[in-house]
Structure 1
Amino acid sequence: MIQLGKLFKDYGSGTSIGPVDLEIPTGGVTALVGPNGAGKSTLLTMMGRLLGPDAGTVVIGGHDVTTTHPRKLATVVSTLRQENHFTARLTVRQLVALGRFPYTRGRINREDERIISESIEFFDLGSLQNRYLDQLSGGQRQRAYVAMVLCQETDYLLLDEPLNNLDMRHSVHMMHHLRRVADELGRTVLIVLHDINFASHYSDWICAVKEGKVVEFGTPEEIMTDETLTRVFETPVTCHDGPNGRLAVYY
C-alpha cells in the first residue's frame, strides 16, 4: 500500500500541492488524472523521493520514503520520470541493465543477466536489444525505459506519463504491457495519465487531482460520470457505455 499523510509542497505565490491524505491499494494499476498543472507529476515525484515535500509523510510498502536508506528504497519502489536523457550512448540492453544497479552496484552476474533478458522480452524488445537508443522510434525507446524500471524488480512502479509523445498504437501497446505487469507479475503500478479513457480502460483505480488536491478516488465506474469529470476538468463531459467500459467525450 502507498500511504500519503498530509503531504504538502509549497511553491510560493499561492501555489502549493496538498495537504494530501491518500491510501493507494496494493496491486493493480492506479491512474493519476487531472488537468494540466494539477500537481499529478509533483505528487508522483514526491512519492518516489525525487522531490522532497515541505511537510507530511509517504509510506510505501511499509517503508517511510523520507527515512529509508536510498539503496533499500530502490529495492522497494522504482520511478520513471517524464523526461529521460542519457548523455552516454547506450544500447537497449545496457539501459535495461541499469535497473540492476541497486543490487549489483555495477557487477552483473548470471542471475542479473537472466532478469535483464526477461525484462527485455517482456516488453518485446529482444530483436532490438543491441540497438542504440538513438536508433529507436519514440515508442520503442519508451518501452526500453519502462523495461529498465521493471528490471529493478520492485513491488511498486511509479511512472510519470509513459504515454507522452506516443501515438495511439504505441500508447495501447504500452498500456497493455503495464496491465500485464500488474496482472502477471503482481506489481503495483501507479501511472500519471492525461487520457482519461486510457485510465478508464486499463486502471483498477483512478485518482483525480485538481489544483494540488485529490478531489476524487475510486474505481473507473465510480469516477467515469458526467458530473465527476465535468467538475474535475472544468469542461462539459459526457460519459457513454462502451464495449470495454465507459468512454468520456469532451465538449
Structure 2
Amino acid sequence: MITATGVVKKYSDEVAIGPLDLTIPVGGITALVGPNGAGKSTLLTMIGRLLGMDEGTIEVAGYDVARTDSKDLAKIVSILRQENHFVTRLTVRQLVGFGRFPYSRGRLTTADEELISRAIDFLDLRDLEDRYLDQLSGGQRQRAYVAMVPAQDTAYVLLDEPLNNLDMRHSVQMMQHLARAATELGRTIVIVLHDINFAGHYADRICALKDGQVVAVGTSDEMMTDDVLTRVFDSEVEVVDGPRGRLAVYY
C-alpha cells in the first residue's frame, strides 16, 4: 500500500502542491489523471523520492520514503520519469541491465541476466536488444526505458507518461503489457496518463488531481462519468458506452 499524508510541495508563495492525502491499495493499476499543472508528476516523483516534499509523509509498503536507505528503497519501488537522457553508445540490453543495479552494483550474475532477458521479452524487444539507442525510433527507445522497470523487479512500479512517443498501436500494447504485469506478476502500478480513455479502459482505479489537490478517487466505473470528468477537466465531457467500455467525448 502507498499512503500520502499531509504532503505539500511548495514552489513559491503562489504555487504549491497539496496538502495531499491519498491511499493507493496493493495490486492493479492506479492512474493519476488531471489537467496540465495539476500535480500528477510531482506526486509521482515524490512517491519515488526523486523529489523531496516540504511537509507530510509518504510510505510505500510501510517504508517511509524520506527515511529509508536508497539501496533498500530501490528494491521496493521503481520509477520511470518522462525525461530520459539516453547515451547513444548503449545497446538496449545494456540499458535494461541498469534496472539490476540495486542488486548487482554493476556486476551482473546469471540470475540478473535471466531477469534482463525476461524484461526484454516482456516488452517485445528481443529483435532490438543488440541495437544502439541512437539507432531506434522514439517509440522503441521509450519501450526500452520502460523495460528497465520490470528488470528492477520491484513490487511497486511508478511510471510518468510511459505512452510518450508511442503511436496508437504501441500505446495499446504498452498498456496491455502493464495490465499483464499487474495481474500475472502481482505488481502495484501507479501511472500518470493524459488520455482519460486509456485510464478508463486499463486502470483499476483513477485518482484525479486539479490545482495541486486530489479532487476525486474511485474505480474506473465510478470516475468515468459526465459529472466527474467535467468537474476535473473544466470542459464539457460526455461519457458514452462503447463496445469495450465507457469512453469520454469532449465538446
TM-score by length of 1: 0.98
Over aligned residues, Cα RMSD in angstroms? 0.8
Task: Tell me what 2:216 maps to.
Answer: 216
Cα distance in 2 for partners of 1:130, 1:165 equals 21
Q: Which moved more, 1:212-221 or 1:162-171?
A: 162-171
The Cα offsets for residues 134-193 of structure 1, whole Å up to 9 and x where unpaired, read as 111222111111111110010000000001132211111111111111011110010000
Contact 2:78 2:149 (C-alpha < 8 Å) held by counterparts = yes
Task: Tell me what 1:161 maps to.
Answer: 161
Cα distance in 1 for partners of 2:117, 2:204 equals 29
The aligned amino acid for 2:68 is: T
The aligned amino acid for 1:190 is: V
The aligned amino acid for 1:25 is: P
Task: Tell me what 1:147 maps to.
Answer: 147
Task: Tell me what 1:2 maps to.
Answer: 2
Contact 2:88 2:132 (C-alpha < 8 Å) held by counterparts = no
Counting matched residue pairs gives 251
Task: Tell me what 1:87 maps to.
Answer: 87
SS at match of 2:11: strand
The Cα offsets for residues 24-69 of structure 1, whole Å up to 9 and x where unpaired, read as 0100000000001111000000000000000001100111100000
Contact 2:86 2:133 (C-alpha < 8 Å) held by counterparts = no
Task: Tell me what 1:49 maps to.
Answer: 49
SS at match of 2:170: helix
SS at match of 1:121: helix
The Cα offsets for residues 84-123 of structure 1, whole Å up to 9 and x where unpaired, read as 0033521000000000000010011111111111111111
Cα distance in 2 for partners of 1:27, 1:16 equals 30
TM-score by length of 2: 0.98
Unaligned runs of 5+ in 2: none
The aligned amino acid for 2:207 is: C
Cα distance in 2 for partners of 1:2, 1:193 equals 18
Task: Tell me what 2:185 maps to.
Answer: 185
The within-5 A match list for 1:19-98 is 19-87=19-87, 89-98=89-98
Cα distance in 1 for partners of 2:137, 2:148 equals 17
Q: Which moved more, 1:137-146 or 1:93-102?
A: 137-146
The aligned amino acid for 1:158 is: L
Q: Name the % identity.
A: 67
The reply on whether 1:230 has 2:207 as its aligned counterpart is: no
Cα distance in 2 for partners of 1:88, 1:7 equals 38
The aligned amino acid for 2:90 is: L
Cα distance in 1 for partners of 2:99, 2:84 equals 14
Task: Tell me what 1:204 maps to.
Answer: 204
Task: Tell me what 1:124 maps to.
Answer: 124
Cα distance in 2 for partners of 1:86, 1:169 equals 24
